[in-house]
Amino acid sequence: MNHIKTAMLLAALTAIFVAMGALIGGTGGMLIAFIFALGMNFYTYWNSDKMVLRMYGARQVDERTAPDYYNLVRELARRAELPMPAVYIMESAQPNAFATGRNPQNAAVCASTGLLQAMSREEIAGVMAHELAHIKNYDTLTMTIAAAIGGAVSMLAQYMQFGAMFGGGNREGGGGIMGVVGTLMAIIVAPLAAMLVQMAISRSREYVADRMGGEICGQPLWLASALGKIENYAHRIPNEEAEAVPATASLFIINPLQGWGMDNLFSTHPNTGNRIAALEQQASRMGGGSAPRYADDGRQGYADDNGGPWSQPRQGSQPRQAGRSGNSGPWG
């Protein structure tokens, strides 16, 4: 049912795009918009991971360049029974993360430098488990295509607004008062409708990814703690790339936008407090107790009360600097 619902929502986004093409150029504009939407979906299907990662200037890392982070993702992928995704880091002070790719065999996860520095390793495990859940459910393809079409709808609305200022309009009888009304409706309503569809797609997926992420990492409270912290940071630290392309906000674990203008009216994500409450209920059902941890060699152990299971340095690594917190992240 989730796949059917998603297909219907994506069809609605495409219909909005095609309808706007009709308002701009009549039957010809509608045909061009339809062909463009098909081409965009095809291109996004094959290149969604590269497109988004390039947009955020992410760099790929491996076991040599980021061993803690890379090995954590590898162990979580093993627990999720997924192929090892490509692992990326994006330069952003705002703690956040996303996953992308058309299927589990061609997927990537990306964490911001802010996330790796501000979160404990347990919290990072919860976040990356959530992103792997999106990959397992094929959400990454759906949300990336939705972001691409939503961005295109916004672009067309801006084009129509520019054209209306200079007397442009539908060449097939779209003039007069009805043409003006139709153009204004497209400029105002179409981006709003696209935003609502994106919101429906993302919100319907986040709760499922939270639940599965809690199962993958073995401790839903790790993810709950991370969500609360990321939400707090996101309101104070801007993500300039996301602000420039707000249609991609639905890809992130927490809405990266700070809520200026129209972004304050609607959110592509469920209420964070409700997500945390659901994870707390899941933790209660799972019985609580000691949470599993993941050593760099893949062995499973148990959490302690001293800053989490990863607060101790790896064998052969340099000791932590004096005054550093055990929850300062792998690069703290």
Name the binding residues for Zn(2+): 130, 134, 206
Output Rg (C-alpha) for the chain, integer angstroms. 22
Return d(Cα 112, Cα 126) in angstroms, integer.
15
Rounded to whole angstroms, the Cα distance separating 260 from 154 reads: 16
- Is 123 labeled as catalytic in the residue annotation? no
Angle between helices 67-80 and 121-136 (to 10 degrees): 50
Give the pairing type, strands 107-112 and 86-90.
parallel
d(CA 288, CA 259): 35
Buried b (16+ CB within 10 A) or exposed e, 41-53: eeebeeebbebbb
- Matching residue, tokens 């996301």: 242
- Which position among 131, 215, 243, 280 bears the catalytic label? 131
Q: Compute the half-sphere exposure of residue 21: CA atoms within 13 Å on the CB side of its CA.
A: 19
Structure tokens at 222: 């790790």
How far apart CA 79 and CA 107 sit, in angstroms, is 16
Strands (E), 77-218: 86-90, 97-101, 107-112
DSSP SS3 for 73: helix
Q: Please give the angle made by the CA atoms of 10, 11 and 17, to the nearest 5 degrees.
A: 95
Give the start-end residues of each E strand in 160-318: 292-294, 300-302
Catalytic residue numbers read 131
